[in-house]
Amino acid sequence: MNWDESDAGKAYAAQVASHRGWVVNPDQDITAHVTQSLAQIARLKGKPYCPCRDAEGQEADHDIVCPCKYATQDIQEYGQCFCGLFLSPLKDPREVTSIPERRPEPEDR
Ligand code: SF4
């Protein structure tokens, strides 16, 4: 992925969704914000760390490289990932909301 391209974040999200059988949230406000942040983080830190969480860009954060380790379970349980970027095909996009953080506290990882 060339993160310098202007729509790299969107292209990445489309690739991930297609690969996982998910849907990219059609809400342009959410999607534009999250994908632009993903691309910016990838340019700064070398990997697309989750923009909805604090990341140092170290090995300890391997679980939150997008698509994060928690997305599959969150999409199964809530129909969406923590950021609301990826949805289950069954999820009504109008029902995207904040969901509980599944990532354990640092001392429990
Ligand atoms: S919650 Fe996970 S899958 Fe969703 S944008 Fe953040 S890292 Fe990606």
**What is the CATH number for 67?**
3.90.460.10
Judged against a pLDDT cut of 90, whether residue 107 lies above it is answered with no
Contact (Cβ atoms closer than 8 angstroms) between residue 1 and residue 12: yes
Measured distance CA(2)–CA(8) in Å, rounded: 7
pTM of the predicted protein model: 0.96
Residue 102 lies in a domain: no
> What range does the domain containing 75 cover?
8-87
16 — pLDDT class (breaks 50, 70, 90): very high
- Measured in degrees and rounded to the nearest 5, phi and psi for residue 98 equal -80, 140
**What's the mean pLDDT in 38-55?**
94
How many domains in the chain? 1
Query: Does the structure show a pLDDT above 80 at 58?
Result: no
d(CA 37, CA 21): 23
Question: How many angstroms does the Cα of residue 5 sit away from the middle of ligand 1?
Answer: 20
97 within some domain: no
Nearest CA to ligand 1 atom 6: 50
Assigned domain for 103 exists: no
pLDDT at 65: 96
Residue 20, in any domain of the structure: yes
Average pLDDT of the segment spanning 49-66 = 89
Three-state DSSP state, 33: helix
Whether the predicted pLDDT of 87 surpasses 80: yes
Task: Strands of 49-94 (E only): list them.
Answer: 86-87
| Residue with CA nearest ligand 1 atom 3 | 67
CA of 69 to the centre of ligand 1 (A): 9
Atom 2 of ligand 1: nearest residue by CA position: 68
